[in-house]
Amino acid sequence: MQVEPLVIDVKGMHYTPLNKQIRAAVASGVREIVLNNVLGQRFIANGLRGDVRITVNGVPGGDLGMFMSGPECEVFGDAEHAPGNTMDSGTLVIHGSAGDAVAHSMRGGSVFVKGNIGYRGGIHMKEYEDKRPILAIGGTSHAFLGEYMAGGLILVLGIGHDPAVRDRGIGSGIHGGEIVIRGDVSERLLGVGAMKVEFTEEDLERISPVIKEFCERFDLDPSKFLDTHYCRIVPSSSRPFAGKYTWE
């Protein structure tokens, strides 16, 4: 049975009744939800499970899709801080830019940001078995990208930016996962425990599905991003603190 898409005008609405309504709709089998006039509502799709597509027209508040497990959220506008916070699985697609701590502690699924992101993007992203979170950024990122990163992939395409990233502290404290940035990254921008390694054809092969999906999502031509001009940043150790202590 085909269930009609649910369209909600959320102008002036508080997030709690909104989320309750979304949850109830998903429970009743709705697969397509459109939120119009979104402005500042936090926690949209927070902890939401299920196979549902939510279109957000406007600027949602912080923690979009936090703890989300499964759904897809597409934002036609910018997002505030920490979209994809501690997200479990599913997809966020942001047709604008996003604030600080994007994909904070994200453990699975994908976050695609067409524009730029703020500080500490992908901080403490982590992976486990088949769950490998992806944060892909079309524009650039501010400082401390992938700080404390423990797994997953951060991809920065740097469209319109040369170099793609010019802020410091990339991968500071990284002990898992990889950060891939188009073009070259100055050594002085690397954080503690991060190191550059050669970006190989195999790497490109591995990452190209992400590039293609990103381009598809935002209607871009992928061919110009499928060159080998990337810089790959990985942890110098999976035990960065092992040598810090002595026993009493």
Partner 1 sequence: MTLGSVPLKYRISIDRDQCMKCMRCVDNCSYGVYRIEDDKILIDSRKCTACHRCLSMCPRDAIMLQERPVDYRSHPLWTAEAREDVINQSRTGKIILAGMGNAVDYPIIFDRLVLDACQVTNPSIDPLREPMELRTYIGKKPSRLEFTKSNGDIDLKTNLTPNLKLDTPLMIGHMSYGAISLNAQLSLAKAVAETGTFMGTGEGGMHEAIYPYQDHTIVQIASGRFGVDINYLERGAAIEIKVGQGAKPGIGGHLPGEKVCSDVSCTRMIPLGSDAISPAPHHDIYSIEDLAQLVRSLKEATNWEKPVFVKIAAVHNVAAIAAGIARSSADAVVIDGFRGGTGAAPKVFRDNVGIPIEAAISAVDEKLNDQGIRNEVSIIASGGIRNSGDLAKSIALGADAVYIGTASLIALGCRVCGNCYRGLCPWGIATQKPELVGRIDPEIGSQNVANLIRAWTLELSELMGAAGLNSIESLRGNRERLRGYMLDEGLLDVLKVKSVGA
Q: Looking at 13, 47, 96, 163, which residue binds partner 1 (CB under 8 A)?
A: 47
Q: Computed from CA positions of residues 201, 124, 112, 78, in that sequence, does the dihedral angle turn out positive or negative?
A: negative
Contact pattern from residue 186 through residue 225 relative to partner 1, giving x for each residue in contact according to CB under 8 A and a dash for the rest: ----------------------------------------
Q: Hey, what are 34's tokens?
A: 């459109």
What would the DSSP string read from start to end of 210-242?
Answer: HHHHHHHHTT--GGGG-SS-EEEEEES-S-TTT
174 neighbors 154 (Cβ within 8 angstroms): no
Q: Of the two residues 57 and 69, which places its CB atom closer to partner 1 in the complex?
A: 69
Q: Of the two residues 12 and 243, which places its CB atom closer to partner 1 in the complex?
A: 243
**In this chain, which stretch among 52-60, 133-141, 162-170, 237-245 interacts with partner 1, using CB under 8 A?**
237-245
Q: Looking at 25, 50, 73, 120, which residue binds partner 1 (CB under 8 A)?
A: 120
Q: How far is the CB of 145 from partner 1 (least distance, A)?
A: 13
Site for partner 1 contains 69 (CB under 8 A)? yes
Site residues for partner 1, 126-165, by CB under 8 A, read 126-128, 131, 147-148, 150-151
Q: Looking at 133, 158, 169, 173, which residue binds partner 1 (CB under 8 A)?
A: 173
Calpha distance 232→121 (Å, rounded): 16
183 neighbors 207 (Cβ within 8 angstroms): no
CA distances from 233 to 73, 131, 155, 174 (A): 29, 20, 10, 9
Q: If you search the block for the tokens 């891939």, which residue do you land on? A: 180
Q: Of the two residues 13 and 220, which places its CB atom closer to partner 1 in the complex?
A: 13
Calpha distance 107→62 (Å, rounded): 18
CA distances from 121 to 37, 145, 150, 169 (A): 27, 5, 13, 11
Q: Report the interface residues with partner 1, using CB under 8 A.
A: 15-16, 19-20, 23, 42-43, 46-47, 49, 62-63, 66-69, 81-82, 85-86, 88, 101, 104-105, 107, 120, 123-124, 126-128, 131, 147-148, 150-151, 173, 175-176, 238-248
